Amino acid sequence: MTSMMELVPGGCWGLLPILLSFLLLVFGLYCAYVHLIHLRYDYIPAPPRPSFLLGHLPIFWKASSKKELVHDIFLEWAKEYGPVVRLNAFHRISIFLTSPEAVKEFLMSPQYQKDPRVYGQLHSLFGERFLGKGIITIQEHERWHKQRKIMDPAFSRSYLVGMMGTFNEKAEQLMEILEEKADGKMEVSLLNMMNRVTLDIIAKVAFGMETNTLHDDQTPFPHAVTTAMKGVSMIRNPMLKFLPGKRKVVDEIRSSIRFLRQTGKECIERRREAIQNNEEIPPDILTQILKGEATEGPRDDETMVDNFISFFIAGHETTANQLAFTILELSRHPEILEKLQAEVDEVVGSKRDIEYEDLGKLQYLSQVFKEALRLYPPGPGTSRWLDKELVVDGIRLPAHTSIFLSSYTTGRLETNFKDPLVFNPDRFSPEAPKPYFTYFPFSLGPRSCIGQNFAQMESKVVMAKFLQRLEFQLAPGQNFTILDTGSLRPKDGVFCTLTPRKSHCDFSGGIGGNMISEGL
């Protein structure tokens, strides 16, 4: 039998000890480097590291394997170790901050850019450009400000008022579908239905597209959006793409991203041609982006596509999750639901179309949404980059450090909110004290979400119509577990049985609702 020694050239065996020695030297130098990093940060409070090199990663991996929410670990650490906590992962150190003063410092000032190590991961997914250098991911303040300035007019009050027709149209389509299922027996995933309606809304009001997701969520575009979001949830562990069975999923994600970007390019080009031909065009986000070409220098088609994708990804799932979490909480708080239904009856009555002026009168609904966002912020946190040394809560933070801020954690700390796990909309009543930098589901300061007013208007229209027309009962077996897929959403899908609402209101479109809403 031929020996291994005979199969391998003799010179290679001579090089093997040298190669091994070199690798051991590199590994030793890297370990020494990690040790030096530890010395630089080890005075900052932190839980014990399970591993010298892996740091706290095994804790997060174990939680993920058990389908536990990593943000609950951050919450417990904030309670035990205080408002400044160190997180280790190989040679990288992140600092987790929860004090109101820290939130104010890092979010209200433009000098702290988004952490490139975090948001840079969304530039591309598995080799395909994804959010690129769009308004969500771009780190440099000046370049971000240039994009924001172009888009701001599309989110002004006058533009938002003009969106009410589409909000009502799509919400009415949702109600028609749900009313067909409202037999008290069929279980309906309200998370799925809210995802469908919010995608149809953002497509129509932002880009003039009819995605028709409410009637078929397996058509190419909505399916591609859903598949791309799987990629967002996978980037935390890039090694997944090498595991058996994951290759097909990665290929599907890449294909979906290519499809979304091609759709965006075609949509942009059609609108550009319509502008050149002096055709009537909607005053939507896409129009504002294209108008910016003439005032902000040469066009950048790839960045336009980045923002096309960004608004679809951020503009529908987070709103759908907010609506679903709200329904989940209302299902176990009948007294809050009853009060909310009474407000809808008083303000909306039997009207089919909700008016812009009605939204401001739905004060208790605003409180309910804010409380849902306190407990379940779809975007649970944000990151910033510290360029220069800074003292926070009496602890010195070294320069060139990643900072992590969590609305999920600050919203659930006893020091910030009494009985924080109790769902209590009265925390946000007009008479209640305003949270002091402890509530930021849409972030704060200059980088706060451009679409937050849009999202809340949309949510109010959808929820008001839902409460006006339907009663709901949580299906057996549904629980309140939270799943983190890049944004927080209800794990079980909020399956409910529906029945038509028995009310004094006549939903045939009579004058009663108009009289109530007009205060007559």
Phi, psi dihedral angles at 374 (to 5 degrees): -65, -45
What's the domain count of the chain?
Answer: 1
DSSP state of 75: H
Q: pLDDT value at position 277?
A: 92
Q: pLDDT value at position 244?
A: 63
Each of the 520 residues of the chain gets a pLDDT tens digit; together they read 455 445 445 556 668 888 899 999 999 999 999 999 999 999 999 999 999 999 999 999 999 888 899 999 999 999 999 999 999 999 999 999 999 999 999 999 999 999 998 898 999 999 999 999 999 999 988 889 988 888 888 888 888 898 999 999 999 999 999 999 999 999 999 999 999 999 999 999 999 999 999 999 888 988 898 899 888 878 766 555 555 667 888 999 999 999 999 999 999 999 989 988 999 888 788 887 787 766 666 667 899 899 999 988 888 889 999 999 999 999 999 999 999 999 999 999 999 999 999 999 999 999 999 999 999 999 899 999 999 999 999 999 999 999 999 999 999 999 999 999 999 999 999 999 999 999 999 999 999 999 999 999 999 999 999 999 999 999 999 989 999 988 899 999 999 999 999 864 454 443 333 322 333 3
> Is there a domain that residue 210 lies in?
no
> Is there a domain that residue 499 lies in?
no
Segment 68-72 long-range contacts (CB within 8 Å, at least 24 positions apart): 69/482, 69/483, 69/484, 69/488, 70/484, 71/380, 71/381, 71/406, 71/408, 71/409, 71/484, 71/488
User: Helices 363-375 and 452-469, interaxial angle, to 10°?
Assistant: 110
Give the residue numbers of the binding site.
Answer: 449
Task: Tell me the pLDDT tens digit for each residue of 381-429.
Answer: 999 999 999 999 999 999 999 999 999 999 999 999 999 999 999 999 9
> Is there a domain that residue 346 lies in?
no
CB 284 within 8 A of CB 150: no
Q: pLDDT value at position 514?
A: 34
Q: Which domain holds residue 74?
A: 37-129+380-440
The DSSP element (H or E) to which 88 belongs, if any, is strand 84-89
Residue 495, strand partner residues? 189
Q: pLDDT value at position 387?
A: 95
* Alpha carbons 454 and 154: distance in angstroms, whole number: 10
> Is there a domain that residue 409 lies in?
yes
Segment 502-506 long-range contacts (CB within 8 Å, at least 24 positions apart): 502/471, 503/341, 503/345, 503/468, 504/345, 505/345, 505/349, 505/350, 505/468, 506/350
The CATH number that applies at residue 118 is: 1.10.630.10
Q: pLDDT value at position 157?
A: 85
Give the residue numbers of the binding site for heme.
Answer: 449
Structure-block tokens of residue 484 = 């983190």
- Amino acid making up residue 31: C
Task: Tell me the pLDDT tens digit for each residue of 221-242.
Answer: 888 988 998 888 787 665 555 5
* Residues 6 or more apart in contact with residue 405 via CB below 8 angstroms: 97, 98, 102, 103, 106, 107, 381, 382, 383, 384, 440
401-406 and 92-97 beta bridge pairing: parallel
CB 225 within 8 A of CB 263: no
> Is there a domain that residue 82 lies in?
yes
> Is there a domain that residue 388 lies in?
yes
Q: pLDDT value at position 520?
A: 33
> Is there a domain that residue 393 lies in?
yes
CB 483 within 8 A of CB 490: yes
> Is there a domain that residue 293 lies in?
no
Full-prediction pTM beyond 0.75?
Answer: yes
Q: pLDDT value at position 508?
A: 43
